[in-house]
Amino acid sequence: MPVGKLESVPLRELWKHEERGFSSWLEHNIDVLSEALGISLSVEQREKAAGTFQADLVAKDAGDNLVIIENQLEPTDHEHLGKVLIYLTNLEAKTAIWITSEPRPEHIRAIDWLNEVTPGDTSFYLVRVAAYRIGGSEPAPLFTAIVAPSAETKDLGRQKKDLAERHILRLKFWGQLLARAKEKGVMLHASRSPSKDHWISAGAGKSGLEFNYVIWLEERTAVELYIDTGDGEQNKHIFDSLYSKKEEIEAKFGGPLLWERLDNRRASRISFSIRKGGLKDDESNWAAIQDEMIEAMDRFSKALKPHIQALRE
């Protein structure tokens, strides 16, 4: 059986003009694009006004939501990216489809990012169009989705947004706590800067030992001595030495502490939890949470420092 050879056909041989050629063809053959993307599309209008601009095609999806389609038979550029956003927002569409002969890497990343950061009901497609013939057959277009929305992309976007929001809250919380600690004369962390992490640390007087403030999103904060010299055996030896003074340390602190040797890990930890609130508490409660943490850190560090000092002697 003879096998034909697939030949590429320049798009401008099929359509000399985007608006009068390609957009007109797509208006009457929207099913080809629908099949390629796996979504139902029905054309509403060609060259629909969006302010002083005109969208190449406006369609509707199966949910009766507007879909804008921007056509570009050339490599992607910033102008057309801008048009995609203008049409989507001004026409209050839920989906944007950008068709191009050559998606540039910068615009692929931009559309990926838009799928991440926009609401769950907003979708962006970047579609490459090419044309081929076999032997003497009529040329046929081929649509390939280079970027398409997905549940995973939206979930990643939500995770990044949540992480960014947590970073902002932590920076603000730690900035306030450090300022309040200085006002109260608790200077252990005075040289530290606000952090985006869920802890903020200061040296405890021996290499590998740190006094940490720790905060969770809800319900709980803590002060801790984190022991990690890089040597697991040495960490356990330091922990055991401090644990042998447990009664004296807790008496000085004024209450029981949590002693975690963590035999299945290299590091060890001694801590005190505070059930006063967490990072997502209303900011009006932060001052009370911070005061409790500062007061606990002052007692905690004073109870442990003499014994840490003794480790060095």
pLDDT, tens digit, for every residue of 227-250?
999 999 999 999 999 999 999 999
Q: Name the average pLDDT for the chain.
A: 91
The span from the CA of 204 to the CA of 210, in Å, is: 5
Per-residue confidence (pLDDT) for residue 17, from 0 to 100 = 79
Residue 47's CB: how many other CB atoms inside 10 A?
A: 14
pLDDT, tens digit, for every residue of 265-295?
999 999 999 999 999 999 999 999 999 999 9
The span from the CA of 92 to the CA of 13, in Å, is: 35
Per-residue confidence (pLDDT) for residue 312, from 0 to 100 = 63
Res. 189: pLDDT tops 70? yes
* Sequence spans of domains, the chain: 6-149, 159-312
Mean pLDDT computed over 199-216: 95
The span from the CA of 145 to the CA of 60, in Å, is: 19
Written out in words, the top-level CATH class of the domain with range 6-149 is alpha beta
The span from the CA of 250 to the CA of 269, in Å, is: 15
Q: Are 146 and 128 in contact (CB under 8 A)?
A: yes
Give Cα 124 distance to the centre of its chain: 18
Per-residue confidence (pLDDT) for residue 58, from 0 to 100 = 92
User: What does the CA dihedral 166, 170, 171, 173 come to, rounded to 10 degrees?
Assistant: 140
pLDDT, tens digit, for every residue of 5-40?
778 888 888 888 777 789 899 999 999 999 999 999
Per-residue confidence (pLDDT) for residue 110, from 0 to 100 = 95
Q: Are 36 and 143 in contact (CB under 8 A)?
A: yes
Q: Are 45 and 135 in contact (CB under 8 A)?
A: no
Mean pLDDT computed over 220-229: 96
Per-residue confidence (pLDDT) for residue 101, from 0 to 100 = 93
Per-residue confidence (pLDDT) for residue 158, from 0 to 100 = 77
Q: Between vectors from CA 155 to CA 152 and to CA 157, what angle results, nearest 5°?
A: 110
Amino acid at 14: L
Written out in words, the top-level CATH class of the domain with range 159-312 is alpha beta
The closest of 257, 259, 243 to 311, measured between CA atoms, is 243
Per-residue confidence (pLDDT) for residue 3, from 0 to 100 = 67
